[in-house]
Chains A and B, each alone.
Chain A
Amino acid sequence: MNQSDSAPPPTVFVVDDDEAMRNSLRWLIESVGLPVECHESAESFLDSYYPGRSGCLLLDVRMPGMSGLELQEYLRRNEINIPVIIITGHGDVPMSVRAMKEGAIDFIEKPFNDELLLDAIRNALAVNEKQRAKQALRAELAARMATLTPREHEVMEMVTAGKSNKEIASALGVSAKTVEAHRAKVMDKMQAGSLAELVRMSMLVQE
């Protein structure tokens, strides 16, 4: 949770094989005070990127070597969650659609409208922030769940599945009183204020 304090600021990663394009994007994006990191190829980007760095990725679809789409696919396979904005030349619409299907959050056509581009970047950064917060929460909940005993774990699963105390008691072959006690323990360990909250937590962890 204290990661956000020491973590590097969200960075805009630009991957484009055209040097002028990279330099001009850096020039434009830096004008709103965002740090920019440029890479001339997908490979170079992967070499320097480590998961967990916050930011967004501005990606040219057409590149020699690994193409934009291939990089996108690689990121997805390796569960690297970084919002991708596709840069596309005029007339590359079919390819852009494919990229969107692969999970890109936006696509921008060259030449750029600077407002649109910067809005898209801001939007992507916000998405990234949200994703990262959600991920942090999930990790926290998983940590809390790890403190549960196996019996408490079973009780929690059943409770969140909507079973009543009686049903749980008969299923586990214990008294309702015991179930009650486990349930209180679970609520306490998971720091859930209500049953509804516990259900939400369990859903979040299972996602």
Chain B
Amino acid sequence: MREPHRPLFKQLLRRVPMPVLAAFFGLLTAAAVWIVIDPIQTRAIGNIFREELRAQLETRARESMLRFDSFVQSYINTARLLANHRRMADYLEPLVWFSADEDPPRVYREEQPLWLPAPAIQGLPVQPDYAILADTGGKIREIYQLARRPLPQETEPELKHAITNAGQQAAYMTRLSGSLYLVIAERVEDASYYHMGSLVLLVPVNSRFLDASQQRAPDSEITVALVDGDAQVILVASGNDPLLKGAPMTSIRDRYVATVQSFFEYGNTPLNLLFATLIPRDLVDATRSRIIAVERRHRLTGAAIVGLIFVLLFILVSNRINRLLERVADFSSRALHIEQPAPRGGNRLLIMEDWIRSFTQAVMRAREEMREHYTAEIEEREALKTAVLDASLDPIVTIDQYGRIVDFNPTAEQVFGYRQEEASGRKLDELIFDRGSRQAFNSLLADSQREQGESGQPVLRTLTARSKEGRILPVEVAIKPVRLENQLLFTTYIRDISERQRQAREIESLAAFPAESPMPVLRINRPGVVIYANRASDPLLEYWGCGRMQTVPIYWKRVVEEVLNGGRSREVEVTTHDGIYSLLLAPVPDLDYVNVYGRDITAVRRAEEEARHRQNELIHVSRLSTMGEMATGIAHELNQPLSAIVNFANGCARRLRLGIGEKEELIAAMEQIAAQARRAGEIIKRLRSMVARKQPVREEVDLNLLVSDACALLSHERKRLGVAVESRLSPAPVVARVDPVQIEQVILNLLRNALDALEGREMESRRLIVSTGITSEGQAYIEVQDNGTGISPEDLKHLFDPFFTTKKSGMGMGLSISQTIVTEHNGRISARSVPGRGAIFTVELPLSESAMESRVS
């Protein structure tokens, strides 16, 4: 149903020029905008207007009331001015009123009273009806009557009340004989504030008054009115609407919009007066419809602008597209000689679309023509290529996609012994490759077929070929596919590499030297890349985490660089997971690489480690044995605090049982127990540290402390021999980096030897001196001096030999082990002696670095 419609519609579209179409769409858009927005906006504006109106009305009402207030205030001010006027004072000063006087008040009509300056009254917008002078008691004495009517009767009591109640002044509105008056009472005083009487102004509050208060023409649109709050009736209104006066508020609601406010001023007004601001309803409605009309006009304009912009945009875009298409058409007509369409009138966009379709077809045709043209050219070039092939030094064979020989160049004839005529048409793989290489060649062929076009580089493969005579030749084969128009050919380059292979084998066998080496041999270049590494280097490479042709870790890269820069060999040790290697790095500066010769020294290091371990073991055993020998003494030493504890505890128990003993002394005894237990603990701790099997450590220790500890361990022995150790320790700490337990062991050995030597002497003359300090060479030293039996020169030579002893008991290991320990610490131990007079043993140890530094500074 739609099919026949469509071309018709399209035909129609083709006829319509673009701008018309654009205008049509623009109109449509504008109309849509208008239809959608108008009702919404109108409603919104109505709402806004109502809100605005209410606010406006309130403002207006407030303003008109303010105006009214200030207007009234101006009357009050005038009254004050008159009351304090010089004339008033002059007039009243000599006058005397008697309260008993029953005379009627004096009335002025035509003439001006003396106490009132005429211009003051005449200048007012609404003149007061009456100006009254009352005495101090509120009795009316003189009346200046400006109105036609005489003063209403009820004025007198009203005034009396106002004057007496208000004191200084009073202003309020009241109703007198049906009319509304503003009553202003003002006290008249002389210079010494003596109360002489009161001036009262009665101002009629009528429509004129209200008009004047609003300072506007009587025909203004806003009307103000005073309303009786109880009766809701308008008492007086401005303007000249006669219907308003006396009308109830409810009856005017349909004609006016009213805002009613109450007075705060004129507080003692006897009436409940309200102030109303009235605006005619017609006026409000007219304003509302005017605003809505204006708004509607604006919207209409807005919609029109949107439509216009849409049209402009539409035209602009279509123009752009048009121009683009024209340019394409122009180009095609010039480059491809395709006739340019002549879009005169009608919808150019659609016309262009049709044209582009025909243009594409034309281009396709042109391409086909071009291809034919180039195929011919390629064939020409092929002929040229053949000539080149013939002249090549390497055999070049062209085969078709089935592997049959198409072309066999003269070199190929020479190398393989087949003539071109024999070869062509035969399969190349069967003709010159032996069985083993045939498959490799075919896969190479397949590869090259697959990869054709991907990269220009032909694939190289080493194969074995056989000549007609049966000679086996190693060859390198590269296949380059050549795609001709109707067939796929392959140019096969075959190179006889038998000579080259022989040379390579020679070099290879040379290279096998390091390869066969059981020791790691590597070559690393300056950037740290492992160029060569034999099989034995695998553990090393694994440790470095790099393979062959990869970069060694940064540290080793730096070492290689240093060796290259230094130009001298260097030996480095490296501990891998599998073992320890000593690496000799020999630079080859010309080639900028380093040859690395490795040596597995794991076994050597293990042996050293083992020896060190055994030595430590020996040191420990020796220490144990020393401790064993000292056990009795230490047991005694331990017995002291334990006995003291037992005594203290028993003493406490007895006292507590008997109920004697002061609390303080019992506590003191308990504390003694604790102190002695600590003493015992100290001894045990010292003992344990000497007996414990520990890995050798190095820490900064004050040698003085070690000497004190050793002396403490020996206290029992010393007591047994009756020897007091003379300590000449350096007052400053002598800090060395040592294994504290081992050095204490040395000190202990020396002290025990000295004690043993002293046994041969009289108890009284036994002397043992221990001193510490720093030598002039900056070495820490410990010296143990005794005046015992001494050592003979012969014994002095063997003193530090293992198993050398002059004692009945003991293994003779003490000094030997002491020497081992001191040597391990990079120190020195020595002995001097004068036989019969005693011996001196000296241990020297390097000071710790920090101690050295502080010594230097």
Contact = CB atoms under 8 A, between A and B. Distances in A.
A20 B680 CA distance: 12
Interface string A23-62: 1110110111000000000000000000000000000001
A51 B676 CA distance: 35
A63 interface: yes
A162 interface: no
A90 B676 contact: no
Interface stretch (A74-82, A107-115, A130-138, A175-183): A107-115
B672 A90 contact: no
A67 interface: yes
Chain B interface mostly helix, strand, loop or mixed? helix
A99 B652 CA distance: 31
B639 A20 contact: no
Contact of A111 (B639, B661, B720, B724): B639
A21 B652 CA distance: 15
Interface in A87-121: 89-91, 110-112, 114
Number of chain A interface residues as a range: 20 to 34
Nearest to A24: B647
Interface in A134-148: none
Contacts of B675: 20
A58 to B, nearest CB: 11
B761 to A, nearest CB: 15
Given A27-B669, A64-B719, A91-B635, A20 B644 contact: yes
A41 B658 CA distance: 33
Contacts of A67: 722
B632 interface: yes
A23 B669 CA distance: 9
Nearest to B656: A31
B635 A28 contact: no
B719 A62 contact: yes
B581 interface: no
B648 interface: yes
Contacts of B639: 89-90, 110-111
Contacts of A110: 639-640, 642-643
Contact of A24 (B636, B648, B719, B720): B648
B644 A24 contact: yes
A89 B655 CA distance: 26
Nearest to B647: A24
Contacts of A111: 639, 642-643, 645-647
A28 B649 CA distance: 8
B647 to A, nearest CB: 3
A121 to B, nearest CB: 13
A28 B653 CA distance: 9
A193 interface: no
B648 A27 contact: yes
Contacts of B645: 24, 111
Contact of A27 (B632, B651, B658): B651
A18 interface: yes
B644 A23 contact: yes
A23 B652 CA distance: 13
A23 B679 CA distance: 15
Highest count of chain B CB atoms <10 Å: which of A24, A30, A64, A67: A24
Contact of A31 (B635, B643, B651, B672): B651
B26 interface: no
Interface string B617-655: 000000000000000100110011111111110111011
B654 A23 contact: no
Nearest to A20: B644
A89 to B, nearest CB: 5
Contacts of A64: 719, 722, 724
Nearest to A92: B636
Contacts of B642: 110-111
A173 interface: no
Contacts of A65: 722
A62 B635 contact: no
Nearest to A23: B672
A110 B651 CA distance: 15
Nearest to B646: A111
Interface residues of B, number: 30
A31 B646 contact: no
B644 A18 contact: yes
Nearest to A63: B719
A91 B724 CA distance: 23
A113 B702 CA distance: 42
Contacts of A21: 640, 643-644, 647
B295 to A, nearest CB: 113
Contacts of A90: 635-636, 639
A81 B94 CA distance: 147
A105 B558 CA distance: 86
A206 to B, nearest CB: 40
B647 A28 contact: yes
A25 B648 CA distance: 8
B719 to A, nearest CB: 6
Nearest to A16: B640
A21 B640 CA distance: 7
A112 B643 contact: yes
Contacts of B646: 24, 111-112, 114
Contacts of B647: 21, 24-25, 27-28, 111-112, 114
Given A24-B672, A25-B647, A62-B719, A89 B636 contact: yes
A67 B720 CA distance: 10
B640 A91 contact: no
Nearest to B720: A62
Contacts of A32: 654
B632 A20 contact: no
A20 B648 CA distance: 9
Nearest to B669: A27
Given A20-B641, A23-B644, A111-B643, A30 B651 contact: yes
Contacts of A25: 647
A110 B640 CA distance: 8
Contacts of B654: 28, 31-32, 114
A114 B651 CA distance: 8
Contact of A28 (B650, B660, B719, B720): B650
A82 B656 CA distance: 32
A27 B669 CA distance: 8
Highest count of chain A CB atoms <10 Å: which of B635, B640, B652, B679: B640
A111 B643 CA distance: 4
A17 B637 CA distance: 13
Given A20-B644, A20-B679, A91-B632, A28 B722 contact: no
B678 to A, nearest CB: 11
A20 B647 CA distance: 10
B171 to A, nearest CB: 111
A32 B661 CA distance: 11
Contacts of B648: 23-24, 27-28
A109 to B, nearest CB: 9
A28 B641 CA distance: 15
Nearest to A19: B644
Nearest to B658: A31
Contacts of B719: 17, 62-64
Contacts of B661: 31
Contacts of B652: 27
A173 B652 CA distance: 74
A17 B643 CA distance: 14
A114 B643 contact: no
Nearest to B654: A31
Nearest 7 A-B pairs (CB), nearest first?
Answer: A24-B647, A114-B650, A27-B651, A31-B654, A111-B643, A24-B644, A110-B643
16 contacts: A20-B640, A21-B643, A21-B644, A21-B647, A24-B646, A24-B647, A27-B651, A28-B654, A31-B650, A32-B654, A62-B719, A64-B722, A64-B724, A110-B642, A111-B643, A114-B650
Given A20-B672, A32-B654, A112-B646, 17 more contacts: A20-B641, A20-B676, A21-B644, A24-B651, A27-B652, A28-B647, A28-B648, A64-B722, A65-B722, A89-B639, A90-B636, A90-B639, A91-B635, A91-B636, A110-B643, A112-B647, A112-B650
